A = this chain, B = another copy of it.
Amino acid sequence: MASLAEKRLPDPEDRPVDPQARPEELRLLEALLFASTEPLDLATLAKRMPEGVDVKVALAQLQADYALRGVNLVRVANKWTFRTATDLSWLMTREITETRRLSRAAIEMLAIIAYHQPVTRAEIEEIRGVVTSKGTLDVLMETGWIRPRGRRKTPGRPLTFGTTEAFLSQFGLEVLGDLPGLEELKGTGLLDSRLPTGFSVPAPSDDPTLREDEDPLEADDNLELLLTPAADPDTSQGS
């Protein structure tokens, strides 16, 4: 490797002729992605790039460029962002800003929502065998990792829950299909919420497109109210 003395910063004038100069689109892409707080999707990136650049190819190139670095280019729900390499977490601990510790109930509920989505509160309770406290749902909603996505077309029209992009981002998942152990779960048929286990192997989906048995949320659905015990027969039996 060249010594540092030889690797001095070139003068700006030298850049265009520098043989090491990287393709401009890679410079633009990395600048955009470095600067942004949020992951950026292909369309947004393409809009900011010069005409004629194949952004997909450039992104793949950039991802390869950074694969071995301390900072990697990753994809979350079809959006691109830089993240520090996960193998360096030991070094980064000091950056931690008091991460919230979820209760066991909340963690289980989150997992059920992730693996069974879209799923209703009653179905979550069926799996866990206990009534869910309003507080647990509130805590999960606050994380921004789950969202009510529609209403099941069944009596009572209960809310259906699913995970968000922030969920994928939090757990470093590119797509929901990357959920750990998902394939085994599908294989055992344990993802079917109906008992006894059926023949179909349902796969969780966070596709915002509603399922056939889902209605959209109404514009005036006040979710705050919807989640309160009063509106929820599950907990109205009182404590």
Contact = CB atoms under 8 A, between A and B. Distances in A.
Interface of A: 4, 7-10, 12, 15, 18, 20-22, 26-32, 34-36, 48, 57, 60-61, 63-64, 67-71, 82, 84-85, 87-88, 91-92, 94-95
B63 A27 contact: no
Centre residue among A8, A60, A68 by max chain B CB count within 10 A = A68
A104 B67 CA distance: 48
A26 B70 contact: yes
Nearest to A5: B60
Given A9-B63, A63-B9, A68 B22 contact: yes
Contacts of A18: 68
Contacts of A12: 87
Nearest to A20: B68
A135 to B, nearest CB: 31
Contact of A34 (B9, B26, B71, B87): B71
A152 to B, nearest CB: 38
A7 B64 contact: yes
B68 A31 contact: no
28 contacts: A4-B61, A7-B60, A7-B64, A9-B63, A10-B67, A12-B87, A18-B68, A20-B68, A21-B68, A26-B70, A27-B68, A27-B85, A28-B70, A28-B91, A30-B71, A31-B70, A31-B71, A31-B91, A32-B70, A32-B91, A32-B92, A34-B71, A34-B82, A35-B84, A35-B91, A35-B92, A35-B95, A36-B95
Contacts of A84: 31, 34-35
A9 B85 contact: no
How many identical chains are in the complex? 2
A7 B61 CA distance: 8
A67 B34 contact: no
Nearest to A97: B37
B27 A88 contact: yes
A87 B11 CA distance: 12
Contact of A88 (B28, B67, B85, B92): B28
Contacts of A64: 4, 7-9
Given A28-B88, A31-B70, 5 more contacts: A7-B61, A7-B64, A18-B68, A35-B91, A36-B95
